[in-house]
Amino acid sequence: MDRMLVVVFDNETKAYEGKKALLQLDGEGSISVYAYAVVAKHADGTATVKQGDDSGPLGTLVGTSLGSLIGLLGGPVGLAVGATAGFAAGGAADVYNAQVGEDFIDDVTKTLVPNKVAVVAEIEEDWTTPVDTRMEAIGGIVFRRALSEVQQTLHEEHVAAMKADLAQMKAEHAKAQADRKAKLQEKINQLDSKIQAQLQKAKDKREAAERKAQAKVQLLKEKADALKAKAS
């Protein structure tokens, strides 16, 4: 199952031990790590990406579920760019893209308080014991949540609502007086542009999701081949 994993530690040293343990579990075949980052929360409330897998199978963290979650964990004060080149968080980092739900984010932020450090990762795991056992031994507090695909349904409902408004406006336009037609046409054009932008955004997300899925399949295949070669 594909999951978002957050493990909160008391300091950077333990967090890097946690990151190392996570990658060891990946190497052993217990889990698959698709992407990760080490995020530090500072005394002033800001957060910094200390280290990340910006060149892994899923590519840059920007625009991914992981990147969005990290942006949210930065809180209202914001997130500073650390060692991970090319990563930035902003308005695009939201619950919609993070795919984990507000309750999960609330639970994590209550524990990821100032001076704490977290390992944040998108992983695939069949059972939770390997990660929990290794992380708890280092002193980490583990949070995990299966990635949700509900945002696609929400997006379709949003577009459907806009199309319903557009149909009503067109119906009004057909019956309107000349002085009203121009104003209605302007609103129709604006709404139609928004719909087209949403459809293009959805297309871009589908294509990104397909690339992401292909990268995951390729990663799992490479790991299976490596384990097979090691066993032979």
Instruction: Please give the model's pTM, rounded to 2 decimal places.
Output: 0.63
Instruction: Of 5-9, 39-43, 100-104, 216-220, give the range with the top mean pLDDT.
Output: 5-9
Looking at residue 86, its pLDDT comes to 35
Share the mean pLDDT of the chain.
Answer: 77
Rounded to an integer, the average pLDDT of 138-147 is 87
Q: At 20, is the pLDDT very low, low, confident or very high (cuts 50, 70, 90)?
A: very high
Residue 138: its pLDDT value, please? Answer: 95
For residues 24-30, average pLDDT: 89
Give 84's contacts (C-beta < 8 A, 6+ positions apart).
37, 49, 51, 52, 54, 61
Using the predicted structure, report yes or no on whether residue 9 has a pLDDT greater than 90: yes
User: Which pLDDT tens digit goes with each residue over 50-102?
Assistant: 766 544 444 455 446 777 777 777 654 344 433 333 334 443 335 556 666 67
Which residues contact residue 68 at a Cβ distance below 8 angstroms, ignoring those fewer than 6 apart?
92, 93, 94, 95, 96, 97, 98, 99
Q: How confident is residue 14, by pLDDT bands cut at 50, 70 and 90? A: very high
Count how many Cα atoms sit within 13 Å of the Cα of residue 103 in the half-sphere of its side chain.
3
Residue 10: pLDDT over 90: yes
Q: How deeply is 183 buried, as exposed, middle or buried, from its count of CB atoms within 10 A (0-12, 13-18, 19+)?
A: exposed
Nearest by Cα to 213 from 37, 95, 58: 58
Give per-residue pLDDT as tens, 158-212. 688 788 888 888 888 888 888 778 888 988 898 888 888 878 877 777 777 677 6
Do the Cβ atoms of 71 and 89 come closer than 8 Å?
yes
| Residue among 36, 39, 61 at smallest CA distance from 50 | 39
